[in-house]
Each structure stands twice: as C-alpha cells, then as structure tokens.
Amino acid sequence: ALTLFTIAIAAAEIGIGLAIVLAVYRNRGTSDIDRLRDTAEGHESPTADDGDASTPGTLTTGTSTTDGTEKAEATA
C-alpha cells in the first residue's frame, strides 16, 4: 500500500511540474530557462509603502555577474 501511495505522489508531482512548464511555455513562448529572466523582479526604486529593504522576506537584487547581467536573489 505504501508503494502505491509513493507512486501516486510521484505521478502527481510529475503532472504538476509538467503543467507549470506548459503554462510558462504558453505565456512566454519559450521554456528556455536562460530566456525567462524577465520573470524575475528587476530594479525598482523603493517607494514609501515598500518598507525597509532589510526586512525578512524581501527580494534582494544584486550579485552582478561578469557579463554585466544581474541575478535576483529571494531571501526568506
């Protein structure tokens, strides 16, 4: 019984992963990870209602790479 349960959970995970990839492909026209960087939040100037950028759960942008692009890091 535990084996069948494990197989069912694995099949559900595969189905959800495939659904995510298909949804991204339909919305963006590509599923290439390198071309999907526009889904990350970019450089936005903080406004008065954004709060302090050092609070937990905020998005930290930084870590420039050698080719001039910038990766976004989510901190929890």
Give the integer Cα–Cα distance in Å for 11 and 6: 9
**pLDDT at residue 5, as a whole number:** 96
The pLDDT tens digits for 12-62 are: 999 999 999 898 888 877 777 777 676 666 666 555 555 555 555 555 555
**pLDDT at residue 75, as a whole number:** 62
Residue with the bigger pLDDT between 73 and 16: it is 16
pTM of the predicted model as reported, rounded to 2 decimal places: 0.43
The answer to whether residue 7 scores a pLDDT higher than 80 is yes
**pLDDT at residue 19, as a whole number:** 94
